[in-house]
Chains A and B, each alone.
Chain A
Amino acid sequence: MVHFDYTIKEEMGLHARPAGVMVKKLKPLACNIIITCGERSADAKKMFALMAMAVKCGETVTVKIDGDMEDEVKKELLEFFHVNF
């Protein structure tokens, strides 16, 4: 299992449009990806669960990746977060 922390810089937080793009990208992957923010957590492959976390600007999330190609996935996701959130 690998993980990274990321502090949201996007004003709208973890908002719907890029979150949707992320869900689409992650769906086919053979690994578990869990996003945690304080006491809330969600499966990164699930749109509603992610949106219901309502992560706001300035909050820090922990992303845990467990499974096939986890290092590559971590690298890509980190980049995605930097560009979109």
Chain B
Amino acid sequence: MLILEGIATSAGISKGITVKIDSHDDTPVIKAIKDTESEHIRVEAAIHRAKTELSELYEKTLSDAGEEVAAIFEIHSTMLEDEDFLAAIFNNIDTESICAEYAVYMTGNQFASMFSGIEDDYMRERAADITDLSKRIIGILTGHRHNPFVGLTEPIIIAAHELLPSQTIQLDKSRVLAFISRKGSMNSHASILARSLGIPAVAGLENGFDQIQSGDYLIVDGMNGLVISEPDNETLDSYEQKLQVLNQETLRLRSLIGTKAMTKDGSLIEICANIGHSDECLQALEMDADGIGLFRSEFLYLESDDFPDEETQFLAYKKVLETLSPKRVVIRTLDLGADKQAPYLQIGEEDNPALGYRAIRICLDRTDIFIPQLRALLRASIYGKLAVMFPMITSLLEVKSIYTLLNTVGKDLKSEGIPYSEDIEYGIMIETPAAVMITDRLAKEVDFFSIGTNDLTQYAMACDRMNSKISYLFDSGSVSILRMIKQTVDAAHQNGIWVGICGESAADPNLLPYYIAMGVDELSVSSPKILMLKENIQSLEKADCIIQCAEYLD
């Protein structure tokens, strides 16, 4: 038995077999270059692409782990915009006459060593951020993306020299029991991520790390910062007991799988999952989701170098519909613009991107982008229960324009002999105050509403959610916002359509009583939050909620 001491960076206890991720040498090949100018252009293009990836990671992390954690990728993005960094890369290309890949590698090392030399734990950890960033750019340049976590099949403990945040967020969480690393501390971004994902972690094992080999059976004690290799029976027993206590909570939540999301007095609410990628639908099913309440189609656009063609989209939609069938899948049409940019869609500088050319505004203007998506959706509709949702609606005219396009698309498909379902539901996002004010009219035109509380709060409170100075104003639980939600729910029900909430606040236990009182039909949250939400619903009485809601809103 061997006991190693490190830093407890994420609570919890795990035991299992270790896989050591070699600090595999990904030094790019040095190539001598004559045309340095074209290497500059390659670097610029790769950085542009990296920014897009980071904004996608930001979105994904925001829904999986919350804003505090997502900010990591925003910091990365700001680092990429640093002129000194770019100038240093260019300088390395010019003075050494080397290829872009190696110049980025050199520059990354130079900047990382600048930070690892600082006598301050927090700043020293930023070296890992720079390494992560330069690896991302090199990966884009070479086309070889190395993610050591891809291809894991059995649940394991991951031992790494140093964990990088973008690897940590992208790995398959169901296959990782714990993280241990030689470097790192509480302030490493990878540690912050591990905490938010609820995976036990011990970092900073230093030289002790070398005594761990792949295949070792370990206990990782993320409460006390201990890693125990090949434990004796006594130790195993004592940890077994600790684990049982810890597992009780997980078990309690797991035991809710298969039960109904029903209040004590018998009021049912559907709990669905928000997903950002077709790969995430299995996790949603495992957590007992009643369906997919929000499938963001943007990943198709952000993952590729050009607009995804109809066939690519069709296959992705088909896969999710088939997996979930007979449960409903709500697919949101393209919501690009504002903070989500694709390099091939040049929107240009805008003074107010959040109030600018985005989402349905782009789609109705650029039917060459929109029609392939509508065709792909209609074609996929025969493989499951499809609902299509349109974002950023502000007027009835927009809805009518969408229907005109849908009619054309339907007619074309018919004349081509391509089948599609006649039972597709069409709905809209309610996320602008303008839409809230006409929900009574909109409800007559569509099959459902889904309230996007993040944007609705931002627009109604005139508050940029990224601006830390005014973050106190960003409150989805304010009377103003709750009244808007109530107005929307009432208008929906008076017209016999269903209404859901798919913003972050759908998982907020403090707001749940109000949503229950109003009679919201569906709440859509990220998969890890489904069971917690179900437990909260089961603990409430709708009658009490109605009293609480009336007191607060009237």
Binding site for B on A (CB under 8 A): 12-13, 15-18, 20-21, 23-24, 27, 46-49, 51-52, 54, 56, 79-80, 83-84
Contacts and interface: CB of A to CB of B under 8 A. Distances in A.
Contacts of B468: 18, 21, 83-84
Given A15-B122, A51-B123, A56-B120, A20 B74 contact: yes
Residue among A18, A47, A48, A56 with the highest chain B CB neighbour number at 10 A: A48
B24 to A, nearest CB: 27
A12 B469 CA distance: 18
A47 B81 contact: yes
Contact of A48 (B82, B118, B120, B122): B82
Given A46-B83, A52-B115, A13 B120 contact: yes
Contacts of B115: 51-52
A65 B172 CA distance: 48
Given A48-B84, A52-B115, A24 B78 contact: yes
A80 B74 contact: no
Interface string B458-473: 0000000010110000
A47 B78 contact: yes
Given A52-B114, A80-B469, A83-B469, A12 B122 contact: yes
Interface residues of B, number: 23
A16 to B, nearest CB: 5
Contacts of B83: 46
Interface string B366-384: 0000000000000000000
Given A18-B468, A51-B126, A56-B120, 20 more contacts: A13-B120, A13-B122, A13-B123, A17-B75, A20-B74, A20-B75, A21-B466, A27-B81, A46-B82, A47-B79, A47-B81, A48-B84, A49-B84, A51-B123, A52-B115, A52-B118, A54-B123, A83-B468, A83-B469, A84-B468
14 contacts: A16-B129, A17-B74, A20-B74, A21-B466, A23-B78, A23-B81, A27-B81, A47-B78, A47-B79, A51-B123, A52-B114, A54-B118, A54-B119, A56-B120
Contact of B84 (A17, A20, A46, A56): A46
A29 B71 CA distance: 24
A85 B119 CA distance: 19
Contacts of B114: 48, 52
A51 B124 CA distance: 10
Nearest to B78: A20
Nearest to A45: B83
Interface in B149-164: none
A28 to B, nearest CB: 10
Interface in B396-416: none
Nearest to B129: A16
